[in-house]
Structure 1
Amino acid sequence: MTVSQRQSYLYANASVVDESLLQYIELPDETGGYVWELQFTASQKTNAWSVNTRVVISYFSIFPVHIWGTDSYGGDIYSRIIWGAQEDLKIALSVVMVALSFGAIIGAASGYYGGKLDELVMRITDIFFAFPGLVLAMAIVMAIGVRSLETISIALMITWWPTYARLVRGQVLSEREKLYIEAARSSGASDSRILFSHILPNTIQPVIVQATMDIGSVLLVAAGLAFIGFGPPVGTAEWGMMIARGQNYILSAPWMTLYPGLAILVTALSFNLVGDGIRDILDPKLRRR
């Protein structure tokens, strides 16, 4: 039943229906598959807008309609986990891609040129590493002042880039003194050509492995931020928010926290296993075993 059909039904079967209630009914369609069972009893007093409305929602129902149960608002857990997967994976992938790109450029320049630039970059990364990642992300979210998935992404991008800057810098330091780099310099190749055509392609293997494993780590931190109240508004289909909502019902409705938690666990573990597999493929020492 569409929103307009529900509104027509309510107006036809109740003398007066509060407009705010109609807006509240529309909300689940935008947040990942709420399923509602509603009953209305209404009474009209002359021309006055008064209503006696009783709402019955299918709290905590399981089979056969909702295979993974519902939450405290009647939202279907399975639908919300599927919807939340794209939100959480969008955060994880965007954070890793942006942090990797920015950190790799900064780290490559720092390792190749050295000197004061290298010293400045290393001291900046030391400042970032002085704080736990979750605490730093919380501070950035509070500084921005907007609770949304985009804010979490920005905070984690700022938090994560020093990891790749240090990793790439270390790889560049070991590569820049090799003979093929000296040969490239002797042939008159520019610094940018040496960096992007010779050094970075030979240092990218550990970065790819680290990035793959970091997808699971970013997913865990993003869910943690949402769980402790730094995430998107209530009603957003996001795994951390779902666990936060279900913590009050963990004894009476354990599936509200069980299934989102399993989704986070399986996804993070999967990316870690993929990272291990990529490392085994790219590492020549492990290939010989």
Structure 2
Amino acid sequence: MSRDLSMKPDLLQLCPLMPSLEADLAERFTVHRLHEAADAEAFLATHGSAIKAVATGGHIGLPPAVGARLPALEIVAINGVGYDKVDLAEARRRGYRVANTPDVLTEDVADLAIGLTIAALRQLVRGDGHVRAGQWPKGDLPLGRKMSRKKFGIVGLGRIGRAIAKRLQAFDGEIGYASRSPQDVPYRAFESPAALAAWCDVLIIAAAASAETRHLINGPVLEALGPKGVLVNVARGSLVDEKALLHAVQHGQIAGAALDVFENEPHVPEGFHGLPNVVLTPHMASATHETRADMAALVIANLDAHFAGRALPTPVV
């Protein structure tokens, strides 16, 4: 079913998106870019009542103060898998749809989790800096730690957690997990993240973010992980108590960390910046040409389906 493109619904864009996605949105909608507005309040006062769709990133979602200014809202299309920053109860109450882009980014996120784990254990970033700074002729780096035959713990065994576990099997180690419920998998189940941390060498966070999982990885969990343990987070920054983590890596409570996500992105606590036992990346787990193109296509597919009266391909609400 085709849609009359001469009658373009109004769409509110909350963050920069891929140029190809922005072009596709412009073909279908009258696009209003809130992130470019000099005065957001005035912008919403002018355009808010006409907005029927929102295009946003998972790291932004739909801020409540913005959503409250959109009385005609019908759908929120998230360019990402996370929907923790959209009030789903409010969406149900008001009757607007929410869609995300699951599955298409699973491989890339899992790949980066493996890369970050290797980088942390084998000191790849530190080694690169050592060579670039001309320090190699003056001496070698301290020894790193082996990746193979480690005990790997995964917090959250959904799509991404399972993909990470599949990749970890190649390293001939043991795999354990902590999840909301037991899974039909050949991995060892633990009743809590703390119990998993006490068992494993590397603790990888792949759980969904929610009010219940905020600071799931806290001081006691890090203490259980211990001075030889490494934390890897490719999920959401809110799952980790950053103050407790910073203390742990600064004082040798754990061996190190590799982090792609943070509580207050893009702002990262400065205490992490100079630590040689921490690897930091800018929430780039899905940042490949291929996956971002697939995500963009799914954003468009959800929007097209909604305005054509069809079922959404990947509904959240």
The TM-score, its normalising length taken from structure 1, stands at 0.23
- The structure whose residues are more often helix, as a share, is 1
Larger of the two Rg values belongs to structure: 1
The TM-score, its normalising length taken from structure 2, stands at 0.22
